[in-house]
Chains A and B, each alone.
Chain A
Amino acid sequence: MTRRKQIHLAAHFPGVNNTTVWSDPRSGSHIAFSSFRHFAQTAERAKFDFLFLAEGLRLREQNGRIYDLDVMGRPDTFTVLAALAAVTDRIGLAGTINSTFNEPYEVARQFASLDHLSGGRSAWNVVTSWDAFTGENFRRGGFLPQDQRYERARTFLRTAFELFDTWRGDEVVADKEAGVFLGDPDAGAFAHRDAHFDIAGRFNVPRAPQGRPVIFQAGDSEEGREFAASAADAIFSRHGTLAEGRAFYADVKGRLAAYGRGRDELLILPAATFVLGDTEDEARERAREVRLAQVSGQTAIRFLEQVWNRDLSAYDPDGPLPEIDPDPGEHTVARGRASVRMYRDPVATAREWRERAAARNLSIRELIIEVTGRQTFVGTPASVATAIDDLVQADAADGFILVPHLTPGGLDEFADRVVPLLQERGVFRTEYTGPTLRDHLGLPAPAPGRTVRAAS
């Protein structure tokens, strides 16, 4: 009998979106360390693979003012991950770090340091920023044309890998009698030159337990998929349903062979939300309440403005959709928000939404609740466990990144009620088997010198 495919689970600290509910009396601080500790320790108690922190480097604005309806404010990713290493033992510590407003030398040092300080638990979601809006906060504030974003990310990552690989791991001999600290006096030496970076010298952090951090990639475009296949260890996808998930999974796994990589060397981890109940009806009712809390009337109008690219504050969220068409020009209403790019043809989107709302007599708020619905798993613990397992066994995913809607206790119920069922099914670990995040993910240790590969 073959062993069933093992599920990987990660926990996304609730972010600065309307999906994070702050009006609930159980909603705690999004900035106090106690919230991060609670969240991380819950995920570790449940034997999750890793926890994940997103990043955004400029407060969002809408209609020229700071957006005030959602949770906002977050800590520095590296710093809070390093602190979490002190209050956890095994769970992976993953964060988004932008490659636009940083230097490879500095970021490589930070990840190598985090990996040392956590005993081999670091992971990096590599992103690039494209907007001058965010760049206004940085001395390296120049921004990139969108078509150069992956080129920049790839180059940055390759450069960081070169720095990690300047140490093999056996150089620090620290022989007190002989007076030899480094067995190889040239350890850390590098010289790198390309269109983006022209650097040389000595990398000053010896090889970390994982060699280099686990690499995540979140892009969904053709370029993003290719980048993931060439260089990433895991990909965050949006495709949590069976059909879409299977298509995405097959597509991305199919790209690996061209880079000399096996199918198990890149994990597909869609983001997913969940709402639990003692019965299916109770879960559905709770899910509806969560959606109402996530999409207030004001939030619905603001969301509509992001697609329409117009001030719609005069509209009634409980009334019909605007007759006026979206402004197809450059986005000016909402800034610092990636979601505005999801709707590539806003006029067509508006037409489709109007028809949908008219057919079923939906208000603006009801429509927005429906079209922004991201509730992946709604049901009893047993039905949610079954759904997760089924999707993984059907190769729609290798696991999920769960995004709770409450800080800091949003993961507790899943940890207490769903994880034991997955463990009973024999598809999720009951103990960690190794110390590093690579061990949890079943990824091979990188050999020094194996940097980003070109397609063969």
Chain B
Amino acid sequence: MSAHLHLGVALDGTGRHPAAWREPDARPAEQFTARYWTDLVREAEAGTLDFVTFEDALGPPERLDAVLVAARVAPATHGIGLIPTVTVTHTEPFHVSKAIATLDYVSEGRAGVRVRVSARPEEARHVGRRTPGDAGELLAEAADYVEVLRRLWDSWEDDAEIRDAATGRFVDRDKLHYIDFSGRWFSVRGPSITPRPPQGQPLVTALAHRADPYRLVGTSADLGFVTPRDAAHARAIVGEICAARDDARREEGVHVLADLLVYLDDDAGAAAARRARLDARAGTPYESDAAAFTGTPAQLADLLLEWRDAGLSGFRLRPAALPHDLRQITRGLVPELRRRGAFRTRYEAATLRGLFGLPRPANRYAA
């Protein structure tokens, strides 16, 4: 096991706290510009973080499309992983497969995707589709969706393009594969129109809070984001996910990362006061699905290392307010972890898979 933690940040709007946009350094009116997102991701990259995720939904609040934000940022960055959220309940796996493959091309191997199911009736109304099924059905559909993404990424073998002047053939069609997926919710013939992406398989990630989603992570994802209350809870969740992985007889490892909402300041009292101010402005204390941490970067480093020992690969930190808490992570937490020998000082790999120590996988269709 690597001595280093894996560390990402979840970017969303002006931060997770509903009153974050009213902070003095917040740029609420700029969150629909490319500059805003480029600045944030470059800040995260300056801290050699593993990745950023971009929230998204097919409904309120106001957001730009996460895949396109990630693509817009990709050429302006060089080392950090880019993981947009995609709502799998209402979108086409064929479109999303080539979109994430293309994100992998434009970022030269730094793409991932966070698959999100939507049970919100208002999102279903936006696509006029149907009332969403129950949670179990939505997750089973998501598992099928991920299977289609993965098969489509493999539907071109790496050496399918041959440009053989002697026979006049641009491709060797024996190295292009119909995926012929057929399931309860959709069937997809394939192959993709986009050749296999640089990483082979971009990272698939999912946020999970309960047993059924843990199973989705164990059977289908490379990274799982979970929300433990404490180290013991984290250990139990990791156990559940590993059991699901073993049941599915998957050979690939799954990295489990804990989500934490963070309020960080150089002084613990200042962090608490800021959180209180944010809550007061929102009118009610903000309760997130993830545990909240309020304190100094050094105190957070203590907590991360303690939880890491419960079997977590790392953390996805949710800055309560942007850019303040992101800067506390890159300029406070990261140097602190480096001093303790627990975080990288430079990007040691060129791809997101590489940062997680994952090899470029063999193609399932290759003979």
Mark A residues whose CB is within 8 Å of B: 22-23, 31-33, 37, 56-59, 65-66, 68-76, 78-80, 82-83, 85-87, 101-103, 105-106, 109-110, 112-114, 116-119, 136-141, 172, 174, 176, 179, 181, 188, 197-202, 204-206, 296, 298-299
Contacts and interface: CB of A to CB of B under 8 A. Distances in A.
A116 B21 contact: no
B108 interface: yes
Contacts of B62: 172, 188, 204-206
B168 A298 contact: yes
A79 B102 contact: yes
A79 B106 contact: yes
A176 B28 contact: yes
B88 to A, nearest CB: 11
Contacts of A65: 173
B143 to A, nearest CB: 15
Contacts of B252: none
Contacts of B43: none
B99 interface: yes
B63 A204 contact: yes
A292 to B, nearest CB: 12
B32 A106 contact: no
A116 B33 contact: yes
Contacts of B190: 137
B51 interface: no
Contacts of B125: 199-201
Given A113-B69, A136-B189, A200-B125, A33 B170 contact: no
A201 B126 contact: yes
Contact of A139 (B28, B67, B93, B102): B93
A59 B193 contact: yes
A28 B104 CA distance: 19
A336 to B, nearest CB: 10
B244 interface: no
A56 B192 CA distance: 11
Given A66-B176, A198-B128, A33 B75 contact: yes
A48 B161 CA distance: 31
29 contacts: A33-B106, A57-B94, A66-B176, A68-B171, A72-B170, A72-B171, A73-B195, A75-B102, A78-B65, A79-B103, A80-B106, A83-B71, A83-B74, A86-B34, A101-B94, A102-B92, A103-B90, A114-B65, A117-B34, A117-B69, A140-B92, A176-B21, A176-B22, A179-B22, A199-B127, A200-B125, A200-B126, A202-B122, A205-B62
A23 B163 contact: yes
B194 A76 contact: yes
A23 B64 contact: no
Contacts of B186: 138-139, 141
Interface residues on B, range: 35 or more
A69 B167 CA distance: 9
B105 interface: yes
Given A32-B105, A200-B126, 15 more contacts: A68-B173, A76-B99, A76-B194, A78-B68, A79-B99, A79-B103, A109-B65, A112-B64, A116-B32, A172-B29, A172-B32, A188-B62, A199-B125, A199-B127, A204-B57
Given A140-B92, A204-B59, A117 B28 contact: no
Contacts, number: 210
Contact of B67 (A78, A116, A141): A78
A82 B54 CA distance: 15
Contacts of B93: 139
B95 A101 contact: yes
A204 B61 contact: yes
A245 to B, nearest CB: 32
Contact of B68 (A37, A117, A119, A179): A117
Contacts of B64: 109, 112-113, 116-117, 205
Contacts of A106: 58, 90-91, 127
Interface in B187-236: 187-191, 193-195
Name the residue among A68, A114, A299 with the largest chain B CB count within 10 angstroms.
A68
Q: Which 5 A-B pairs have the closest CB atoms?
A: A139-B186, A83-B106, A82-B71, A79-B102, A136-B189
Given A86-B34, A174-B28, A202 B59 contact: yes
B7 interface: no
A106 B68 CA distance: 12
Contact of B28 (A181, A188, A299): A181
B258 interface: no
Given A73-B156, A172-B29, A176-B22, A85 B126 contact: no
Contact of A78 (B28, B33, B99, B127): B99
Nearest to A69: B168
Nearest to A55: B193
B92 A85 contact: no
Nearest to A16: B193
Given A101-B92, A119-B34, A299-B168, A82 B58 contact: no
B281 interface: yes
A332 to B, nearest CB: 17
Contact of B126 (A105, A112, A114): A105
Contacts of B28: 172, 174, 176, 181
B319 to A, nearest CB: 18
A86 B193 contact: no
B65 A113 contact: yes
Given A204-B63, A206-B62, A76 B126 contact: no
A119 B33 CA distance: 8
B165 interface: yes
B26 A75 contact: no
Given A72-B170, A204-B63, A137 B94 contact: yes
Contacts of B22: 176, 179
B60 interface: yes
A136 B186 CA distance: 10
B340 interface: no
A86 B99 contact: no
B169 interface: yes
Contact of B122 (A110, A198, A201): A201
Nearest to B195: A73
A105 B94 CA distance: 18
A86 B73 contact: yes
B86 to A, nearest CB: 11
A40 B62 CA distance: 30
A410 to B, nearest CB: 17
B161 A73 contact: yes
B109 to A, nearest CB: 11
A205 B161 CA distance: 39
A33 B108 CA distance: 8
B92 to A, nearest CB: 5
